Structure 1
Amino acid sequence: MTEDFLSDLAGLRFSKGHGTGNDFVLVADPAGVHEITPEATALLCDRHLGIGADGLIRAVRSQELPEGRHLLLTHPEAEWFMDYRNADGSVSEMCGNGVRVFVAFLLRERLASLEEGQALTIGTRAGVKVVVRTGNGYAVDMGPWEFIFPEHAAAKGTDSLVEAGGLEVARPALSVSMGNPHTVVALAHDAELAGTDLHHAPAVDPAPAHGTNVEFVVPAEPLVQDGTGNISMRVHERGVGETQSCGTGACAAAVAIRYWAGEGAPDSWSVHVPGGTVGVRFFPGVDGREHVELSGPARIVADGVLA
C-alpha cells in the first residue's frame, strides 16, 4: 500500500537539506505537474519508511498555483513559490528555516542566482518573503508579527495556559503569529527545559483556531550580553512533533521574551536551539509595522532519485 502513494513520483529527483537541524525533503517541480499527496508526503518524511524529514518543500513557479498567481499581482518578481508541507502531509503557511533551505536549493538547481548581499523574493502561503544572501547563510524578512489574542496580551501579558509532560502545573503562555501560529512558554532554568516531554503535543487552552506550534524558552542570565538578548528554546511543531529548530518559532520566542522584558529590551537576539543558533532582529518595515528578520545557515546535504 505504501508503494502506491509514491508510484506516480518514481524517477523524481530530490534533495535533502536542513537549517540548524530542521530538515526537509526538497523537489523541483517548476511547471507544477506533480501532485504530491498528503500520504506521499508523510511517507517521504517518515524516518523509518521514507527519506526522513520535518517537512517537504516543492519548488514551483508562482504562476502555476492560485496562491502564487495572487502574489504575482503585487509582487511580479516572486517567480518561485515555496509549497511547504508538514511531515504529516498537512499544508503549512510558512517555515523560516525552510525558506532559507529553499533558496539554497534553488541556487543548487540553478533555478535562481544570488550573490552575497543580493535579495530574492519568494512566494509563500504567508505572503512574500525577501531573502538576502549573507556571508554565512541567509537573512529573511519574515514580515510583521502580531499577537493572536491581542486583547489578552495587552491586559495580562499572557493569553493561554499550556500543559506538557514534565511540567507539574499548567504554565502561562503568549500566542504570536508569524504568518503561522505559535504559543510561547517561559521556563525558569535549563533543567526544566531539558525535562519537558515533547513526545506528545502540549495542550494549549485556548488554542489558536488552526492549532499552534509551542515553544518552551529559557532566558539567559543575564538576558542581554553585548547588546544582544539570548534565549534557549525547544519546540513542538504542529503536524511534526519536536524538531531540532523552528525559524518562525525562534522569531515568536524572541517576540514574547522581548515583550515580557519590557522597555529597553534589545532589538537583536540569539536563539539557541538543539540544532544550533539563529539570529532574530526587529526593525521598522516600509509598511509602518515592526518586522522580524531571521538569519542563519542553510545546507543541502544529499541528492537522490525516488524509486
Structure 2
Amino acid sequence: MAFDLRFTKGQGTGNDFVLTSDPDGEHPLDPTRIAAVCDRRFGVGADGFIRAVRSERLPEGEAALAEDPGATWFMDYWNADGSPSEMCGNGIRVFLRFLIDQGLIAPVDGEWVAIGTRAGVRRVRTSPGGFEADLGLWRLDGGEPLVRAKNLPVARPGIGIDVGNPHVVVALADDDELDGLDLSYVPVVEPAPDTGANIEFVVPADPLVDGGRGRIRMRVHERGSGETLSCGTGAVASALAVRYWAGAGAPDEWIVQVPGGVVGVRMQVQGDGEHVLLSGPGELVFDGVLSLG
C-alpha cells in the first residue's frame, strides 16, 4: 500500500537519522522500506530510522513502562539495512530534540526524560551545548576476540563491551593506522559475536590525560550501517575500554573525537552500580514528505 511518510532528518555529530512520529503505532515500516528510506542514493539517506511511538502501543514499550512508568515514549530504532537495534546513543539525543520540536513533550531544562528502548529505559536531558544521555550500566563482554580490517597489516585483539548493544573495541598504534583503515569493508571478528557487534578502532591522544580528562580518537564500523561519522554508544565503549587498559588512576571523564565532531563521556557511580553518560549535540536538519510505493 502506497502512502506518504512525513519525516524529519536529524543528526548528532554526523550520525544521521530519519525520524517520524507515529504516536499510536499505526504505521510501522517493514525492513525493506526502512532500508529504502535510509538509502543514500534512492531514498532520504541515513545511518538509522527512528519512529516515535507511545510505549503503551508496542510490546517492547509495555516492558519499558513496567520498568519505569514515566517512559511514555519509545524510540523504535532500526539500522540502515532494516535490521532492528537495541539502542543508539547519538540517536536518543536527537530523539529528545525531535519529541520537543514536535510538541510531544515539554521538559524543563535539565529535567531527565525516561525513554523506552529495546535495551531498556534510558534517560536523557538537555544540557549546555546539546543533550546528555544516561546510558545506564555497562559490562565487559568477555574474551579478547581478534579483529581483522582492510589495510590493518595483522589482526589485533579487541575487548568486548556491552552498553545495551554489543561492541568490540580495538586499540591501534597511531593516527596513521587509524586514518589508513578502509572501513567500507566489514571488519572480521574471530570468534564472531552471536548477534554481530559495532567495531571501534581507537588511538589515545598524546598526552592521554589533559586537564583531568582522557582524550581519544575513534572510527567505527556499525553493525547494519557500515562506517558512520559517529557512534554514541561506540564512543562510550571506546572510553570505557581505554580507561580499563589504562588501569588505576585513569579519569572518569573523556573527550572522544570522531570524524563528525566531538562527544563527551563520563562515568558515574549510582545506587545500582556504575553508569556511563554521553553528551553532545542533537540537531534537526529539515522536514520532508516521501512517497512510498
- Fold match by TM threshold 0.5: yes
User: In structure 1, what residue type is equivalent to 2:34?
Assistant: T
Indicate the residue corresponding to 1:139 in structure 2.
132
Structure 1 residue 13 displacement after superposition: 1.1
Structure 2 SS opposite 1:73: helix
Whole-angstrom CA distance in 2 between matches of 1:210 and 1:42: 19
TM-score (norm 1): 0.93
User: In structure 1, what residue type is equivalent to 2:79?
Assistant: N
Whole-angstrom CA distance in 1 between matches of 2:129 and 2:109: 9
Give me the identity figure in percent.
58
Indicate the residue corresponding to 1:97 in structure 2.
90
**2:53 is aligned with 1:60:** yes
Whole-angstrom CA distance in 1 between matches of 2:185 and 2:223: 11
Structure 1 gap segments, 5+ residues each = 1-6, 153-158
- Corresponding pairs, count: 291
Deviations 1:174-213 (A, max 9, x none): 0100110000000111111000110011000122210010
Indicate the residue corresponding to 2:267 in structure 1.
282
Deviations 1:3-61 (A, max 9, x none): xxxx54x2231000000000000000000000201000000000000000000000000
Contact 1:31–1:60 (8 Å) recurs in 2: yes
Superposition CA RMSD, Å: 0.8
Contact 1:163–1:202 (8 Å) recurs in 2: yes
**2:35 is aligned with 1:42:** yes
Whole-angstrom CA distance in 2 between matches of 1:164 and 1:87: 21
Whole-angstrom CA distance in 1 between matches of 2:234 and 2:77: 16
**Aligned with 2:173 (options 188, 204, 210):** 188
Structure 2 SS opposite 1:306: strand
**Aligned with 1:178 (options 163, 177, 184):** 163
| Misfit runs of 4+, over 3 Å | none
User: In structure 1, what residue type is equivalent to 2:122?
Assistant: K
Whole-angstrom CA distance in 1 between matches of 2:5 and 2:224: 25
Indicate the residue corresponding to 1:304 in structure 2.
288
1:1-307 matched pairs, under 5 angstroms: 7-8=1-2, 10-149=3-142, 152=143, 159-287=144-272, 289-307=273-291
Structure 2 SS opposite 1:12: strand
User: In structure 2, what residue type is equivalent to 1:277?
Assistant: V
Contact 2:67–2:121 (8 Å) recurs in 1: no
User: In structure 1, what residue type is equivalent to 2:226?
Assistant: G
Contact 1:116–1:135 (8 Å) recurs in 2: no
Structure 2 SS opposite 1:200: coil
Contact 1:148–1:208 (8 Å) recurs in 2: no
Whole-angstrom CA distance in 1 between matches of 2:170 and 2:181: 11
Structure number with higher strand proportion: 2
Whole-angstrom CA distance in 1 between matches of 2:167 and 2:204: 18
Structure 1 residue 114 displacement after superposition: 2.0
Whole-angstrom CA distance in 1 between matches of 2:183 and 2:77: 23
Structure 1 residue 102 displacement after superposition: 0.5
Whole-angstrom CA distance in 2 between matches of 1:186 and 1:98: 25
TM-score (norm 2): 0.98
Structure 2 SS opposite 1:300: strand
User: In structure 2, what residue type is equivalent to 1:286?
Assistant: G
User: In structure 1, what residue type is equivalent to 2:137?
Assistant: P
Whole-angstrom CA distance in 1 between matches of 2:242 and 2:53: 36
Whole-angstrom CA distance in 2 between matches of 1:263 and 1:197: 34
Structure 2 SS opposite 1:30: coil
Structure 2 gap segments, 5+ residues each = none
